[in-house]
Structures are given as C-alpha cells and as structure tokens.
Structure 1
C-alpha cells in the first residue's frame, strides 16, 4: 500500500479541509510538527479540452422579474456580426414593436409637428468599436405578439428594402452618462401621418399602434466583428417633436416631445453558421470537437461550451515523500493578446457533466465542498497589473473534487465550463480556452498542491 493510503486515517480529513496554500495543518499536530512540512505544486495531470454545444434556445424577449419595481432580466436588443475561421459566423438581429404613450393630441388643436425621429440608445458594445458599423432599419410585415415569449431562434419577416441606413462609429459612452444614441430622422410626410393618427383617435393603445407601425427590424450589413446592444428601457423609441402656438398669433408657446418607446415587446435573433469549420461536426449534444482540431483551443461563446476531461487522474499516486493533497486548482489562462482584446471576458462557472454534455450540478467548491451563496463554483477573469506582459487567468478551487477523484470516491465525469449569466451582454462575450499544448501563458492546468516533508 502506498504511503498516501497508510497515513490517510491520520491526515486525509485535515488535508481535505485545508484549501489555502500556506500548508498549515490543524489536525495531527500532536503526531507530526507542522513546521516540518512545506507545500509543493505539481501540474503534470493530463487535461483534455474540447468544444461542445450549449442549449440552442433561450428567451431573448424581456422577462419581468419584479412587477412592483418594473425590473426585467434583460432590456436590450443585440445587433451585429462576428466571424471566426474556427467557430464560424454569428449574426444577431433585433426586432421590436412600438409602444403607445399618453399624449395631448386629441384634445389640443394648436399643435404643429416639427419632426419624427427613431432613436436607438446604446447600452454596450462588444468587439471592434473603432471601425465603421452599418445599421439598417426595416419595417416588419406583421407586428410581434405582445402575449408570447420570443427566443434566440425566433424570427420575424420584414421588408427587404430598409427604411433607413446609417454608418457610425460605435459610441456607447460610460455609465452613469446618459447613453448616446443613433438617430434616424423620418420624412415630414411620415411625421404628419403619425401625428394625424394620434390626433384623430386612430391610435389610442398598443393594439392600434401595432396596426399603424407593425414594428421594426434592426440588422447590420457590416462584416467586421462588432456586436452592439441597444437599450429598450427609456433610451430607444420614436420621438415626436412638436410645439404649441398661441391661437391667433401663431407665436410658439411651448416646444416639447414625446417618446413612444420600444420597451414592451422586443427580442434578439441569433444565427450561427459553422459551415466549413471544424465545429461544423457539432450536430448533436453528444458531439465534442477536440482542441487538436481547432488550433489547440476550445471555445465558450454563443451556443458553445468547453468540456474538460482528466482521463488518467484515477491512476495518479502521491509521490514518495509527500503526505497528501493540500489543495487543487483548475487554472484556465484564456488565449488573449491585450486587455482590449474583445473587452473583459465574462465570469465563468464550472459544472459536472454527463455523456450528453449536459450540466448536472456545480463542481464542489474548495476543500469542504460547500458552494458559495451564489450556488456556483465560479471564477472571474483576473490579470496581474504589475506585469509588463498580459498574465491572466480564471482559477477554480476544486480541492474536494480532485481529492475524491484521486481516491476513486466519485465517478470521473467530464467538467463543463460555461458563462455565468443569461443576459444578452454575457451571451455576446467569448472566451478562447487554450489546451496543454499552448504556450505556458495561455494553457489550462490542474495544479495540485501537495504537503511534503522538508
């Protein structure tokens, strides 16, 4: 029997409860002086990395979380395109209805219409925000249903000829600054027609508003890697500018405007095309594409997750002269060139998976296996600001799980890395995971910290 097993009765409980790297042992001090021990790291455990499919549908229309506070899970539409030779092309399109807003037009006769402007308020931008971004506005052929949920796989027919098109340099601004906007001025005839329908009672609610406008689709013809989120909560809509005049003199008494928002019914469509890439082989949830086929990398992105396997960990034996496992960390260093490379990566969570690459449960956290209050074994992106080169990582504490694998106490299941969050902004973000064949600054490692005698 190996040394590790001979001393297991004395040390395993203490070692598995100790997750720090200091090597301090609180149990067994009456037998062995802790000053005679130190912590040594070992990172030679084989790690296999592959890309698998994430569930292909999720709700992208606003989900009401709290009616009393008017809080929604997501309040944005995502418009853009992303092309990668390894993962294919992602296209996102936004669709929306126009909401009715209270107005004085039926009861007021001394109103003059000035203009009608379609406003798109930036929420965020992802990718290349330094080059031109084209956006087209199309009219829907039929209004969206206000009583159903829409998914990333949903679509809505729209006229092929755009109402408007513009080319801009994305400028989302920095909170708490009021978001900047892309503005499309409509024709005077369209402004007058809209005002007339409001003034004569043709438009009096959302139903009649849908009959008049039907809604809009927002698409981009741009081929660059840029995704823009547009806010639908108070910063986007149709704004009608007008002024009231003094009857008899035509002197302007008051200039005002009313926004008819896009907040009620909207959604984002995601279109993934992996044709001609290694990931085209991902046809079902049981499929996995090895990192060896994708330039020693795997991916966490819209529709994609990273699978991690430890094929030989059950054969691992604590080397002679080591008392046991002190802690274990799964360290993932993303393939990233600069801090502005696709902006800050999202938080990630790690789950136990099965043969169908489904998420079963979070990987136990730390030595105790007690998950944080969030319920996930999660990690945020971190980098060392003191280093001249980009030294960055995600670090997951998997001490209890690794210990149980080594001892054969739990099945050797695949682990699944995925984004933590279901909002569109998180879905738009991408992480490229390097395997063990990548340079040392971009690879994944299972680091075991072993207690050794001096």
Structure 2
C-alpha cells in the first residue's frame, strides 16, 4: 500500500505559505524578510504505539436494536454478541370473533444494519428466557440473563437487506403456536403479565463461523410475533395481529483474547508495545482496546541549522487494510486524549494551529487508486509548539473514538494501525519548520 500523502496537499501548501508570512515564529519580522526563509520537512521523530485495555461498560438497552453474531480475529480474539428481549401484549377481540381459525405464528424482526460478511448463511438460535425482562430496565453490555439450554428454534438464512420486507421471518413451531392461540381464545392470556408467563422472552444467539454481526430493530412497528388467522367463510379472509417487543431489549458483548498476542492485557495499567503485536496497535471500542501514543524524543529531535520555528505538525496514522470493501471499516472519526499511567482519559488534546478545537481526525482515502491510500491526519501544531517552547508537558496520548460518535454500531468498528516498523502502513509525525535561508 502506498503512503497516504496527498489527502490534504492543497490545504498543506496554503498552511505553509500562511505560516511563513504570519506564523508565530518568535522572531522579529522587521529583521528577517519572508523571502529569506525556507521550509524544511522532518519525519524522523520517533512515535511509539502500544495497545491498552481500558475496562468499560456501556448501556445497550437504550439502543433500538440488538446485535447477534461473532467475530474471530487472530490478533484481537473472539467477540460474541447475544441479544435479549421480552414480548408485550396487544389488546384484541379474538375471543369474541366467531368462525376464525389459526393459520400460523411467525417471529418477525426488521433488519437494522450488518457488520461483516452477509454473503454466507447466518445460523440463528433462539432460546427462551427463564424469566422475563423488566420493561424499560437499564442493561449493560456486560450483562446477561438466564435462558434455556436447548434452542427453541434454529434457522439458517442469507440476510436479505435488499428485499422488499427487509426483515427475517421465523415460523414458530406449530405445537407451541397453537397452544398460544388457544390461550388467547380462552382469555388465559389477556395482559402483559400473562403474556410473559407464557413466553418470558427470547435470547438470540448465533453459531455462524463467519465474521458477521446482524442488528435487528426490535423497536420497529413491524417487529414482534405475528399471529396469522383466517375466517371460515368461502373467502377465507386473512387477518393478522402483532405482539411487539417490550421496550429495553439489550445486547451482551463478550471478548475472549485467550491465545492471542493481546491476552497479556489484564489490567488498565498494562500496555503492549506494537513491536510485540506484529508491528500494529488497535482501536476496538467494543473490546475496550485503544492505542496509546508516546513521542519520547519530541524536544530532542535534530533541528535544522538556523531553526526559526514550527509551521505545521501533522500526525499521520494509517490503518492496515487492502481494500475499502473488506467489510471491516475503521471508525469514521478518531480523537486524541491526554492520558496517565492508568490509561485514563484526562482531557482532549488541542488541535489545529490555534488549539481552540480538539484533535479529531476523519478517516479518508483516495478513490480510484490502484493501491489503497488512506489514513487519519491530526493537526497537532498548537500542542507540539507548546511542548517545544516548554509551555506544556510532553504527555502520552490515547487514541479513541470520540464519545459523541459512539453508538452500538460504531463500537464494533476497528482500526489496526501500523507502527514505524510496519512494511505497508506506518505512523509518522510530520514537522514543517522554518529556518533562515
């Protein structure tokens, strides 16, 4: 993969010329004329990357969707997503209707989105909960609830996101479905409580070996169990009644790094050098994995003769990937935050020349290139200038997805970043300095 150099070329040129004329160089412009200066480029400053694991729990019951699936990676291990939901009751007049007969009972769930491979068959397992969820209760990614050992239903299918219905439909076994229908007709099921006594709820799991997560929108007006029935007249008119899911379905996310290079991460203070993990570091919020960045020799780099000042400082981070269609997109945005020995987030690193905004970079790539050229470019001019002047400490930084960009979906996105020794994608600190010509 070629180096990601041209994304901001025009902006860079403008910044350089602007810095020459108006940059804060701590020199007297009346003594040195702009045409007597020259711009030099330095990219030899050492940047060290390491992976840290900062334990984190987050609410998943506030999301409209539940995730089901798994992702296995030789470096980050196994991530598993299980969904949990209970059903609500819909008031109806079924007991008062005459001349109707049962047809079928179908579990219907709208697709929300997918992450990963949807070209192969997806194996869905649906278990019954041992007790219903409390409607509207708060649940976190670290939580689970008890469910039956044997699946109630097994179904394999290829996700059809482009279909007209955009949903998965699973027929419930007739014996169970007819029992439910009978209790509706007899009024034994006539409330949320009696509904929960019968169903309790569902646990959604997957045994698919493929790297894929499916998100089902259980808050949709079309998601729930739908009863199909007909009248006994010659027309046999078809009817249906939907029993939706209760509010507050949630997703459990588990991670197993056993047997990987990252299994040594046990405490928040641990940090694994990128040199021990195939010259790469990681950002994967759903697994609490982040990249720690240190620039130990920032104040000791070899400055050119007659050095006058720093015009522009850019930190370039390149994800290790070959194609933007690889089903594993990196986060749309990453931010830099000062951290400590506990790898805690202290405050945002100031960005740009003024330092009035946070250091946040958007993932970008050059289209129509034979080899992928992509990356994140952070403007750290203000921060680096302050360190060079002794106005700020040279503190380590943590690379994370900004909290404002975090959703259940974005937490699944991962960035694998190359260090300076990586053969295809490398981290670099690019300094553009002014010296006396």
TM over 0.5: yes
Pairwise CA distance, 1:300: 0.9
2:360 match: 378
Q: 1:242 to 1:288 in 2, by over 3 A?
A: same
Aligned match for 1:81, one of 51, 66, 70: 70
Question: In structure 1, what is the equivalent of residue 15 of structure 2?
Answer: 20
Counterparts in 2 of 1:328 and 1:106: CA distance versus 1, 3 Å:
farther
Q: Does 1:306 align with 2:301?
A: no
Q: CA deviation at 1:383?
A: 0.3
Map 1:178-257 to 2 at 5 A. 180-234=166-220, 235-244=222-231, 250-252=233-235, 254-257=237-240
List aligned pairs for 1:46-445, cutoff 5 A: 46-62=46-62, 74-173=63-162, 180-234=166-220, 235-244=222-231, 250-252=233-235, 254-262=237-245, 264-301=247-284, 302=286, 303-316=288-301, 318-346=303-331, 347-371=333-357, 376-420=358-402, 421-439=405-423, 441-445=424-428
- The structure 1 segments of at least 4 consecutive aligned residues displaced by more than 6 Å after TM superposition are none
**How far off its partner does 1:19 sit?**
9.1
Instruction: Report the CA distance between 1:20 and its aligned residue.
Output: 2.5
Whole-Å Cα distance in 2 between the matches of residues 107 and 349 of structure 1?
61
Query: Is residue 135–residue 246 contact of structure 2 (8 Å, CA) maintained in 1?
Result: no
Unaligned runs of at least 5 residues, structure 1: 1-17, 63-73
Give me the whole-angstrom Cα distance separating, in 2, the residues matched to 1:171 and 1:413.
49
Contact between 1:383 and 1:392, CA under 8 Å: does it hold in 2?
yes
Give unmatched runs, 5+ long, in structure 2.
1-12
CA distance in 2, matches of 1:53, 1:272: 12
- For residues 374 and 52 of structure 2, the distance between their equivalents in structure 1, rounded to whole angstroms, comes to 24
Rounded Cα–Cα distance in structure 2 between residues aligned with 1:231 and 1:446:
43
The 1:263–1:308 alpha-carbon spacing in structure 2 relative to 1, beyond 3 Å, is farther
Q: How much does 1:399 deviate?
A: 1.3
Deviation at 1:379, TM superposition (A): 1.9
TM-score if structure 1 supplies the norm length?
0.85
Is the deviation greater in 393-402 or in 342-351?
A: 342-351
Deviation at 1:107, TM superposition (A): 4.0
CA RMSD of aligned residues (A): 2.3
Distance 2:89 2:290 in 1: 41
What TM-score results when the alignment is normalised by the length of structure 2? 0.88
Contact kept in structure 1, 2:328 and 2:414, CA below 8 Å: no
Shift of residue 434 of structure 1?
0.8
Q: Distance in 1 between matches of 2:14 and 2:238?
A: 66
Instruction: Give the distance between the partners of 1:447 and 1:230, measured in 2 at CA.
Output: 44
Task: State the shift of 1:253 in Å.
Answer: 6.8
Whole-angstrom CA distance in 2 between matches of 1:101 and 1:321:
80
Aligned length: 414
Q: Assess if the C-alpha contact under 8 Å between 2:304 and 2:435 holds in 1.
A: no
Distance in 2 of aligned mates of 1:178 and 1:49: 46
> In structure 2, what is the equivalent of residue 44 of structure 1?
44
The alpha carbon displacement at 1:147 in A equals: 4.7
Residue 15 of structure 1 is matched in structure 2 by none
What are the Cα deviations for residues 90-142 of structure 1, in whole angstroms up to 9, with x where unaligned?
11111111122343324433433221111232211112222222111111111
Q: 1:296 to 1:171 in 2, by over 3 A?
A: farther
Report the 3-state secondary structure (helix = DSSP H, G, I; strand = E; otherwise coil) of the residue aligned with 2:351.
coil
